[in-house]
């Protein structure tokens, strides 16, 4: 019985470690953005798309002349 428990625990541990690897390696935040420089976006949200595993937010931004850039 003890050998079976040890084998089951080892298999569960291995499965949990292997299943978490792709999540941590999905994207590198540092490769895309500079975390030390804040980004401020101002505008009207026109659409939000929830597509696994990403979220796309669309907004209309007003230019200094009053025109709108989608």
**Per-10-residue mean pLDDT for the chain, 70 residues long?**
66 63 60 82 91 87 88
Domain ranges in the chain are 2-69
Query: Does a cis peptide bond (omega within 30 degrees of 0) precede residue 32?
Result: no
15/19 Cα distance (integer angstroms) = 6
pLDDT at 58 (0 to 100): 93
pLDDT at 69 (0 to 100): 84
Instruction: Quote the pTM value.
Output: 0.47
């Amino acid at each position: 019985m003890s050998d079976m428990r040890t084998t089951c625990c080892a298999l569960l541990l291995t499965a949990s470690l292997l299943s978490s690897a792709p999540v941590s390696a999905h994207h590198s935040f540092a490769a895309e953005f500079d975390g030390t420089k804040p980004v401020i976006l101002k505008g009207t949200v026109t659409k939000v798309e929830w597509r696994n595993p990403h979220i796309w937010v669309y907004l209309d931004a007003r230019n200094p002349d009053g025109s709108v850039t989608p």
